[in-house]
Structure 1
Amino acid sequence: MSGNRLVFEVMNAERSLRRWIDARSGDSGIGAAGAGVLFYLAGHDHALVGDVSAALCASPSGISGLVSRLEKGGFVAKSPDTVDARAVRLSLTPLGREAVATAKEVVKELNTELSDGFTDEELAIVARWLGQITQRLT
């Protein structure tokens, strides 16, 4: 398979994954990108916005708008950092924690769908290949 085709297939797969997740987010407005923020905060409560942005490989302007939408929806709360008043920390609200639980179920369903028809060994190769892409290109 040509390298150009691999790039095309990876980009199409990423768009398909986002559409699949977005379609299952219902009227919450969270979507795939918002779920990434919520998942990160579930493991890193009171994280700096910059840390969330770095973890998700998001631009500062992109993360700012996303966080504002999540805050407006009641999923996250902002607070000033105690050391640096210019920095902002993020925490999940109770509604945000509920959304994480729901998103975990959606991701579990998606993982089942994606792995159907593949052996554990095949999936390990795909996971290693995707991880290598991330390491090489970031």
Structure 2
Amino acid sequence: MRLPRLIFLLFNADRAVRRWIDARSGDTGIGASGAGVLFYLAGHENALIGDVTAALGASPSGMSGLVNRLERGGCVRRSPDPDDARAVRLALTPRGHTAVTRAHALVGDLNAQLTEGFTAEELAVVGRWLERVTRLSAR
């Protein structure tokens, strides 16, 4: 039995999901990566930028550019950490909160499309496999 080309399929799936989200981000310019930042901040208001970077598995330079774009778009604001002047905290603006609501709806639609036709048991296996792939970077 020949195994599926999992790595090839995984990379193609990642690109397809990002393109799908990016194409529907409308005039926000947020895209898939920006939505990740907004989702994190929605649950961790005034988070340190380093914590956001770590949670999303991003590089510091990539996060810096992304935060710059989100700040220019009016979705996040930076502030110095009161306990450490070298540290920067991020918070959602009112526009950012609106963008989170819109992004949740978008992701909900995508999840519905991705799960259509699969049983709960099949999706549990897919979820377990993706979680295992995610943990590979920690080894």
Q: Aligned-pair distance for 1:137?
A: 2.4
SS at match of 2:71: helix
Measure the CA separation in 2 of the matches of 1:40 and 1:99.
Answer: 13
SS at match of 1:85: strand
| Structure 2 counterparts to residues 1-138 of structure 1, below 5 A | 1-2=2-3, 5-138=5-138
Q: Aligned-pair distance for 1:14?
A: 0.3
Q: Aligned-pair distance for 1:13?
A: 0.1
CA RMSD of aligned residues (A): 0.9
Measure the CA separation in 1 of the matches of 2:52 and 2:29.
Answer: 19
SS at match of 1:123: helix
Aligned sequence identity (%)? 64
Q: TM-score normalised to the size of structure 2?
A: 0.96
Measure the CA separation in 1 of the matches of 2:123 and 2:113.
Answer: 13
- 1:68-107 Cα shifts (integer Å, max 9, x gaps): 0000000000000001101000000000000000000000
Q: Aligned-pair distance for 1:27?
A: 1.4
SS at match of 1:12: helix
Q: TM-score normalised to the size of structure 1?
A: 0.97
SS at match of 1:88: strand
SS at match of 2:136: helix
Measure the CA separation in 1 of the matches of 2:137 and 2:97.
Answer: 32
Measure the CA separation in 2 of the matches of 1:27 and 1:136.
Answer: 36
